Structure 1
Amino acid sequence: MAAYEVEVATGDMKEAGTWDNVYVTLFGAAGQSERTELDNYGPNFNRGTTGTYTIKTSSTLGKLLLVKVEKDPFLVRKDDEWYCSKIVVTTPEGEVLLFPCYRWISREELVELRGGRAMKVFEDDHPLLVDHRRNEMMQRKSFYQWKILAEGLPHINHFNNVSELPAEVRISKKRESELLNTRRMTGLELKIKGLLGSAEKWKNIDDMKKIFWFRSTTMSEYVAEHWKEDDFYGFQFLNGVNPSVIKRCSELSQNFPVTEEMVKPFLEEGTSLQNEMKKGNIFIYDQKKMDGIPARLYDGETLRVTGGLCLFYLNPENKLMPIAIQLHQQPSEENPIFLPSDLETDWLLAKMFIENADSMDHQAVHHLMNTHFLIEVYTVATLRCLPVIHPIYKLLFPHFRYTLSVNTSGRDSLFGPEGALSISSLGHAGLMELMRRSHSEVTYSSLCLPENIAARGLESIPNFYYRDDGLKLWDIISSFVGAVVENYYPSDSDVHKDTELQDWISEIFTHGFLGNKASGFPSSFHTVKDVTKFITLVIFTSTAQHAAVNNGQFDYYSWPPNVSILLHKRPPTTKGQSSMTTILETLPNVGETAGLIAMARLLSEKYDDVVPFGTYPEERFDEPALKQMIKEFQAELSFLTEEIAARNSQLEIPYTYLIPNQMENSITI
C-alpha cells in the first residue's frame, strides 16, 4: 500500500470556491490510482483555502506524470465554476511535484494537469505524455483560431464577444465590476455638471477647468497651466504619451523649405541652422504617412487632417523647442511655415494641429496596433502552438493576462465604427487606413527599443527619460529572459529541434506581420540569441511599452487645448487671421470634450486587481533555478524603481510611466 499526499489550492478571487464534488486520479509511469473524491470533514473548496487529502494505491505509481481533475454537481443548482490554483503532490518516495492549474473549471469538466519540470516537445518520451501533449495542441488549435480584422492589419482572435472567451483568458468579475463603476461614476459626474451630451462650444479656455473637479492629477494640472509654452511642447515629444516619433535631422527635405532667415531668431546667437544640424541639435517630426488620408464628415462637411512637419531645436539650456511648423507635406502659398514669432494664436493653432495628427497616430498605431494588437497575435500564437508544460508558455502567459478580453471588447467600444475613437478627425475609416500604412512599414528593429533609439539618432539627447528608463528595463528583461532561455536551450541545436517553438514564431510572422520578409521579423529561430531577443520584445511590449503609451493619457489628453484627437475648423492657410475665438471654435464642443476625457480616464485608471510588473502570483515553474532567476529579476526591478524615484525627486516634471512597481505585468486596460 502506498499513500500520496495531495494539496489542492482554491483561488482567492470572488466566487472562486465551489460546493461541487471534486475527484482526482493520479497517473504514473507504472500505473494509475482509483478515481478518488477529495472530501475532508466540513467545507473543502472555499475561496482562498488549501486542503490536504490522501490518495492510497496498492503500489507506487512510478514517475508521476499527470493529475486528472473532475468536478461533478453536489446539489441541483446553477452551475458554479471553481478556480483551482494548483495541486501539489507528495509521493511515497518524498518527491514533491507542482501541478499548476490557474484556471476555472466548470461543472462536469475534466482537466488533466502536467507537473514537474517544464518540458520541450522532443523531451517527452512516455506514450501517455506524448498523447496528452498532442491532444492538448489539437484541441487548442481547434478552439483558438485566427480571423482577419481588415486587410493589411494583424490578425485577431476569432471570438466575437467577450462572453465566448474561455475562462482562462477572460477578464475577472472584479475587474469587470470596477470598469463598469468607473464608467458610471464618470458619466454621472459629467452629466450632473451638464457637460455630457452638450453641443455648446466653450466660451473661454478657463471654463474647461471645471472638468477637473471629478479627477485631476498633478501632471494634468501642470499641463493645463503650461500648455502654451514651447519648451513644454517639445518635452512632450520626448516624455509624453507618444515618445517614438521624432528623429535627428541632418538635412531638410525639399518639401519643407525652412530658411536660415526664418529660424535665426530662435537659435543661439552666432550660429546657423546648418551648423546646428551638423552638431546634432536639430530634430524633426514628420507625419507624411498621414498625408492624403480622407478625414471624416462632421455636420455635412469634411474635416481636415494635417500630415505636417515640425522642426525642433535643442537649445543651450537643453530644452527641445519647436522653431518651424508646416501643416501639410507640399509647400504652397496656402501652406505657410509657421514660426514662434508669428501671432500667438497662429502659432498655438499650428502646434495644436500637429498634436492632433500625433494623437491619432499615437492612439491607432503606437498604442492600439503596436501594443494591444501585436500582443494579441503573440497570445493567440502561444495558445495555439505551445502546451502549458512548455517553458516559453510558462514564461510568457503571465504577460498575456486579460489582453484577449480587453481587445475583444475594445474593438467595438473603443475602435469600432461607433467606438470612442471614431469621434477623431480621421474617423474610423481614416484610422484604419493610417494603421494599414503604418503596419506596412513596421520593422523588427523599429519595435526593439535599443535599435529604435539608435535609428532615430536619439542616443544622447538630454532629458529623454523614456529612453533612459526604457533601455534599462530592456536590459533587465533581456538578462532575465536570456537566463531562462539558456536554461532550457543550452545550444542552438535545441532551438532547431523544438518544432512547437518554430511553429509559434512562424504563426506570429504569418498572422502578425503578414509574411512581410522586408519587415525583418523572424519566421523561424536559428539561435538561442534569436529566441532571447524576440521574447524580450514580447515582454517589453506587454509591460513597459504599453505603460509608456497608455498610462499618461489622462495626464496629457484631459486638457483639450494641449492635445485633442478632434479639431473642428480647418487648419489656417494664412497668417494673422486667428484669435482665441478661432481656437475655441476649433476645439471639440463641451459634450465631445467630456466624452474624450471620460475615455482617457477609463484608460488611465488604476484598478484593484493589478499584478505589478515582475510579480508572478501564479506558481508555474517548479525548478529551484527558475525561482532564483525570478527573484534576481525582481531585485533588479526593485533597484531600478529606487533609482528612478531618486532621479524624479530632482525634476520639475517627474517621469513616472516606466517605474517598475507602477507598471502592470500585462495589458489589462
Structure 2
Amino acid sequence: MLSFPFAANGLEGKRSNPAYLENWITNTTPIIAGETTFSITFDWDDDEFGVPGAFIIKNLHINELFLKSLTLEDVPNHGKIHFICNSWVYPASKYKSDRIFFANQAYLPSETPESSRKYREDELVTLRGDGTGKLEEWDRVYDYAYYNDLGDPDKGNEYARPVLGGSSEYPYPRRGRTGREPTKTGGFKLPRGPLLKAITDSIPLEILKPNLQTDDEDLLKYPIPQVIHEDKSAWRTDEEFGREMLAGVHPVIISRLQEFPPKSKLDPNIYGNQDSTITRDQIEDELDGLTIDESIKTNKLFVLNHHDIIMPFLRRINTAANTKTYASRTLLFLQDNGTLKPLAIELSLPHPDGDQFGTVSKVYTPFEHGVEGSIWQLAKAYVAVNDTGIHALISHWLNTHAVIEPFVIATNRQLSVLHPIHKLLLPHFRDTMNINALARQVLINSGGIIELTLFPAKYSMEMSAVVYKDWIFPEQALPADLIKRGVAIEDSSSQHGIRLLIQDYPYAVDGLEIRSAIKSWVAVYCNFYYKSDDVVQKDTELQCWWKELREEGHGDKKDEPWWPKMQTRQELIDSCTTTMWIASALHAAVNFGLYPYGGFLPNRPTLSRSFMPEPGNAEYEELKTNPDKVFLKTITPQLQPLLGISLIELLSRHASDTLYLGQRDSPEWTKDQEPLLAFERFRKKLSDIEDRIMQMNGDHQKWKNRSGPVKIPYSLLFPTGEEGLAGKGIPNSVSI
C-alpha cells in the first residue's frame, strides 16, 4: 500500500488515498535481471495535494521486499518525480513508525517545505532509536557501541580480549550498536556468519605450496598472483622490495629519513634506549659517492620504520604466540633512476633482562650470493612480516574500515536523506557497516582468521588501538599525509600545492590526481547549497552531525584541537573530501592489491616461526645446501596459507554490482541540475586520469616504479574496475 502525505498546506500535509499493489506477478520486462517493475495508479487532485514530496509505503505481505525506486509520471504542472529508495521494506507489523521515502529534491533544514518538515524530523528520530533493546535486522536504527564484541570469555581466558573504545589505554572509533545480550563473563559474542562460509568454500582441496622456484603444479589451484605471473623470481630482487613500498599493496608507510641514526619515540623510562644501531660505516659506501649528511640534505635517504609500533608488544608476541619475529627498520637510498635501493635492515628484540634495558639489535646489509645472500633474503622476509601485519591491522582495518564507520552512523542519525551532504556522502558508505560487522564475526575476533594468520595474534586489535592514539583526521588528507611522512614538501607553484621528493611514487602521483578531482567536485557541490559561511554555521543538521561525529563517533578524541570547527565552507569541503578519499581511494589502494602481491606468500609472509639462523646452529648449516627450505621453514606454516590466501583472494575481488568512483546507482539521484552537471565533469576528469595512468604505465624507461621487475602495472588507483581479481578500480565505499 502506498500513499502520498504531502500537500501544499498543513504542517504534515494531507495524505492521498492509498493505492494497492494487488498482484505480485507482472509481465513488464525488467530493467535489470532479477528486478521487477510494477505500475500503480493514483487519483490526484493538484489543487488539493500540490506537488508530492514523499510517499508512505506499508508492506502488507509476509515477506520483505527490496524497493529500488518509484517514479511518478505526469504529475500535473510538474512532470516526473523520482524517489530513490534502495531499501528493504519489511512487513508493516515489524515497524513502529511508517516507512517513508522522500523525493530526490535536496533541502537544507531551513529550506524544507513546511509540509515536509515534521516528516523529516520524525524520520531522524526513528533512525536514532532510543538506545535500548536488541536490534533486529528490520530495525532501522543507527547507534554507537564500543568494540566489546571481539572476545568470547565464556570459552576461557585465552579468548578474552580488552574492550576497545572508551578508555585512554585502548581508544577506538565506535562501531554500530546491536544490543545483543552479553556473555556470562562479560563482553559480547557475534555468531559466525556468511563471510566464514565464503572463505571456507573458496579453499581448494590441496594447499598452495609456496615453492620458491614457482614452477609447482599446485600453484594452479589458485589464480596465479600477478607478482609471479610474468617472472617467477623477480619478487626476490632488492629493486622490487623497495618498489612495493611505493606501488605495492602498502605504499603509505615509507618516510624520509631526516636524522641519522633513526631515533625512537618510545618512552625511554619504560623501554630504555630504542634508537637505531645502524652505523655510518655500514651504509656510507652505498650512497653513490655521497656522505650520509649529504644524502639527508638532498632528500635521498628513506626509512620503512616498523620498530616503535611493534616493540611494545614484541616480548608478549614471541612468548605467547606461535611466532618468532623482530621489530624492524629498513633504510633505503633514492637512486638517480628513481628507484629505491635497500641499504640496511635492522632487526631488534627486547633486551632479555627487561624492557628498561632497551633492545638487542642486529643489522643486515645486502648480499647476492652464498649464505650471506640467504640471510639477506630472510631479513627482507622479516620486514615483510612486519609490513603485512601493520598493513592489515592499521593501514587497512583501522585507517579505513574502523575510522569510517562513525561517519556512516552519524550521517544516518543526524543528516536527513533530504540533506545535500547526506546525498553527497551516501554512496561512499554503501555496505560498510555490513562488512565491518562480518569482520567482527570471523576476522578480527578472538581466535578469528586475523589472529590465526598474522604475527601479533591475540594482540592484533590491541595494537591497532594503541596506534589509534596518534590518528588525526586532517592528516588523512593525502597531501597532509605525504608532508607528514616527509616524502613531499609544500610548494605553492606545484599543481597540488606540494612537491613530491620521490617523483616516481605511483600511489602518491595517482592519488593526488584522484584527490584533486574529488575536491573539485565537492567544492562545486557544497558551494551550490552553501552560498556563504553563515549558511554553514546556521545549518542545524550539519552542526549536530559534526558535533556527534566528534563527541560520540570518535569520542575518545573529542577534545583534540585539530578537529575542523565546521564554521566555514572550506572546512566543510575539506572534511567531505577527506571522508570520501578514505572511503574510496585510500581503501582501494590498500585493499585490492592483496592478492596480486600477497597471494604468493613468500613475497608477503604473514608470520615467522623461528628467529634468524645464527652461525653454529643447524638452520645456518642448512642454508649452505638448501636455502629455500630454510626460508619456507622460517616463514608462514601451512595452516595459515590455507586460510590467509583464501581470505585475501576473497577480499581482493570486485563484485559484479560494484559502483566505482564517479558512478551512482541512479541518474536521478538529485533533481538539482548544477550538481548533476558538476558530477558529469567529475566523471570526465576521472576518465582523463585513467588515460594518464595508462600512458605513464606504458613508459617503462621514465617511470620504472610503475611496473618494476615483476611487471605489474600500477592500477590500484585506476578509477573504474571490473568484476573479479582485476587489481584495478576504486569502489565508492569500503564494502569488502
TM-score tier by shorter-chain length is 0.7 to 0.9
Partners of 1:463 and 1:281 in 2: how far apart?
Answer: 13
Counterpart for residue 727 of structure 2 = none
Partners of 1:601 and 1:140 in 2: how far apart?
Answer: 35
1:176-255 correspondence to structure 2 within 5 Å: 183=199, 186-187=202-203, 189=204, 191=205, 193=206, 195=207, 206=214, 210-222=218-230, 224-252=232-260, 253=262, 255=275
Which is worse superposed, 286-295 or 322-331? 322-331
2:334 counterpart of 1:335 = no
2:294 counterpart of 1:275 = yes
Any gaps of 5 or more consecutive residues in structure 2?
130-140, 148-163, 166-170, 181-192, 264-274, 352-357, 488-499, 701-706, 722-729
> What is the CA-CA distance between 1:661 and the residue it aligns to?
0.7
Partners of 2:665 and 2:143 in 1: how far apart?
Answer: 28
> What is the CA-CA distance between 1:186 and the residue it aligns to?
2.5
Q: Alpha carbons of 1:44 and 1:498: their partners in 2 closer, same or farther (altered >3 Å)?
A: farther
Query: Given that residues 196 and 442 in structure 2 are in contact (C-alpha distance below 8 angstroms), is that contact kept between their aligned partners in structure 1?
Result: no
Counterpart for residue 35 of structure 1 = 18
Q: Alpha carbons of 1:41 and 1:612: their partners in 2 closer, same or farther (altered >3 Å)?
A: closer
> What is the CA-CA distance between 1:562 and the residue it aligns to?
1.5
Which is worse superposed, 610-619 or 84-93? 84-93
AA paired with 2:37? T
Q: Alpha carbons of 1:220 and 1:119: their partners in 2 closer, same or farther (altered >3 Å)?
A: farther
1:152-191 correspondence to structure 2 within 5 Å: 152-159=171-178, 183=199, 186-187=202-203, 189=204, 191=205
> What is the CA-CA distance between 1:515 and the residue it aligns to?
4.4
TM-score, scaled relative to structure 2: 0.78
Q: Alpha carbons of 1:337 and 1:560: their partners in 2 closer, same or farther (altered >3 Å)?
A: same
Counterpart for residue 10 of structure 1 = none
2:69 counterpart of 1:85 = yes
Query: Given that residues 248 and 457 in structure 1 are in contact (C-alpha distance below 8 angstroms), is that contact kept between their aligned partners in structure 2?
Result: yes
For residues 362-395 of structure 1, give each alpha carbon's deviation from its aligned partner in whole angstroms, at most 9, with x where no partner exists. Answer: 0001100111112211111111111111111111
TM-score, scaled relative to structure 1: 0.86
Counterpart for residue 320 of structure 1 = 340
**SS of the residue aligned with 1:87?**
strand
Query: Given that residues 506 and 524 in structure 1 are in contact (C-alpha distance below 8 angstroms), is that contact kept between their aligned partners in structure 2?
Result: no
Counterpart for residue 582 of structure 2 = 541
Partners of 2:232 and 2:342 in 1: how far apart?
Answer: 19
> What is the CA-CA distance between 1:57 and the residue it aligns to?
3.2
Match of residue 122, structure 2, among 131, 135, 138: 135
Q: Alpha carbons of 1:104 and 1:301: their partners in 2 closer, same or farther (altered >3 Å)?
A: closer
Counterpart for residue 573 of structure 2 = 532
For residues 526-562 of structure 1, give each alpha carbon's deviation from its aligned partner in whole angstroms, at most 9, with x where no partner exists. Answer: 1000011111111111111011000000111122222
1:287-366 correspondence to structure 2 within 5 Å: 287=306, 288-294=308-314, 303-328=323-348, 334-341=360-367, 343-366=372-395
Query: Given that residues 19 and 41 in structure 2 are in contact (C-alpha distance below 8 angstroms), is that contact kept between their aligned partners in structure 1?
Result: no
Q: Alpha carbons of 1:79 and 1:570: their partners in 2 closer, same or farther (altered >3 Å)?
A: same
1:619-638 correspondence to structure 2 within 5 Å: 619-638=668-687
Counterpart for residue 401 of structure 1 = 430
Q: Alpha carbons of 1:385 and 1:209: their partners in 2 closer, same or farther (altered >3 Å)?
A: farther
Counterpart for residue 18 of structure 1 = none
Q: Alpha carbons of 1:603 and 1:625: their partners in 2 closer, same or farther (altered >3 Å)?
A: same
Q: Alpha carbons of 1:125 and 1:92: their partners in 2 closer, same or farther (altered >3 Å)?
A: closer
2:427 counterpart of 1:429 = no
Counterpart for residue 661 of structure 1 = 720
Partners of 1:208 and 1:514 in 2: how far apart?
Answer: 51
**SS of the residue aligned with 2:326?**
coil
Partners of 1:337 and 1:628 in 2: how far apart?
Answer: 57
Partners of 1:650 and 1:309 in 2: how far apart?
Answer: 32
Partners of 1:44 and 1:396 in 2: how far apart?
Answer: 36
Query: Given that residues 317 and 459 in structure 2 are in contact (C-alpha distance below 8 angstroms), is that contact kept between their aligned partners in structure 1?
Result: no
Which is worse superposed, 250-259 or 435-444? 250-259
Partners of 2:672 and 2:144 in 1: how far apart?
Answer: 34
Query: Given that residues 553 and 601 in structure 1 are in contact (C-alpha distance below 8 angstroms), is that contact kept between their aligned partners in structure 2?
Result: yes
> What is the CA-CA distance between 1:612 and the residue it aligns to?
1.9
**SS of the residue aligned with 2:341?**
strand
Match of residue 72, structure 1, among 60, 63, 76: 60
> What is the CA-CA distance between 1:517 and the residue it aligns to?
5.9
**SS of the residue aligned with 2:229?**
helix
Q: Alpha carbons of 1:575 and 1:396: their partners in 2 closer, same or farther (altered >3 Å)?
A: farther
> What is the CA-CA distance between 1:499 and the residue it aligns to?
1.7
AA paired with 1:532? I
Query: Given that residues 314 and 326 in structure 2 are in contact (C-alpha distance below 8 angstroms), is that contact kept between their aligned partners in structure 1?
Result: no
Query: Given that residues 26 and 36 in structure 2 are in contact (C-alpha distance below 8 angstroms), is that contact kept between their aligned partners in structure 1?
Result: no
Partners of 1:616 and 1:322 in 2: how far apart?
Answer: 44
For residues 600-642 of structure 1, give each alpha carbon's deviation from its aligned partner in whole angstroms, at most 9, with x where no partner exists. Answer: 1011122212112211023321111121111111111111112
AA paired with 1:556? Y
> What is the CA-CA distance between 1:294 and the residue it aligns to?
4.3
1:41-56 correspondence to structure 2 within 5 Å: 43=26, 47-49=35-37, 51=39, 53-56=41-44
Query: Given that residues 403 and 666 in structure 1 are in contact (C-alpha distance below 8 angstroms), is that contact kept between their aligned partners in structure 2?
Result: yes
For residues 487-516 of structure 1, give each alpha carbon's deviation from its aligned partner in whole angstroms, at most 9, with x where no partner exists. Answer: 111111111111211121222222443342
2:275 counterpart of 1:258 = no
**SS of the residue aligned with 1:227?**
helix
> What is the CA-CA distance between 1:275 and the residue it aligns to?
1.5
Q: Alpha carbons of 1:262 and 1:575: their partners in 2 closer, same or farther (altered >3 Å)?
A: farther
Counterpart for residue 286 of structure 1 = 305
1:470-509 correspondence to structure 2 within 5 Å: 470-509=511-550
For residues 211-245 of structure 1, give each alpha carbon's deviation from its aligned partner in whole angstroms, at most 9, with x where no partner exists. Answer: 34321243343575222211110001111111111
Query: Given that residues 312 and 323 in structure 1 are in contact (C-alpha distance below 8 angstroms), is that contact kept between their aligned partners in structure 2?
Result: yes
Query: Given that residues 425 and 567 in structure 1 are in contact (C-alpha distance below 8 angstroms), is that contact kept between their aligned partners in structure 2?
Result: no
> What is the CA-CA distance between 1:95 and the residue it aligns to?
4.5
**SS of the residue aligned with 2:720?**
helix
Any gaps of 5 or more consecutive residues in structure 1?
1-21, 162-175
Q: Size of the alignment, in residue pairs?
A: 619
Partners of 2:566 and 2:560 in 1: how far apart?
Answer: 16
Partners of 1:330 and 1:130 in 2: how far apart?
Answer: 62
> What is the CA-CA distance between 1:325 and the residue it aligns to?
1.1
Counterpart for residue 13 of structure 1 = none
Q: Alpha carbons of 1:340 and 1:647: their partners in 2 closer, same or farther (altered >3 Å)?
A: same
Counterpart for residue 24 of structure 1 = 3
> What is the CA-CA distance between 1:48 and the residue it aligns to?
3.8
Q: Alpha carbons of 1:211 and 1:530: their partners in 2 closer, same or farther (altered >3 Å)?
A: same
Match of residue 387, structure 1, among 413, 416, 435: 416
AA paired with 2:584? T
Partners of 2:259 and 2:121 in 1: how far apart?
Answer: 57
Which is worse superposed, 365-374 or 564-573? 564-573
**SS of the residue aligned with 2:59?**
strand
**SS of the residue aligned with 1:610?**
coil
Match of residue 84, structure 2, among 74, 94, 100: 100
For residues 244-288 of structure 1, give each alpha carbon's deviation from its aligned partner in whole angstroms, at most 9, with x where no partner exists. Answer: 1111112113622333321133221x3222211111100012221
Q: Alpha carbons of 1:511 and 1:498: their partners in 2 closer, same or farther (altered >3 Å)?
A: same
Q: Alpha carbons of 1:502 and 1:96: their partners in 2 closer, same or farther (altered >3 Å)?
A: same
For residues 279-319 of structure 1, give each alpha carbon's deviation from its aligned partner in whole angstroms, at most 9, with x where no partner exists. Answer: 11000122212112046779976633422211100122321
Q: Alpha carbons of 1:329 and 1:506: their partners in 2 closer, same or farther (altered >3 Å)?
A: farther
Provide the aligned C-alpha RMSD in A. Answer: 2.9
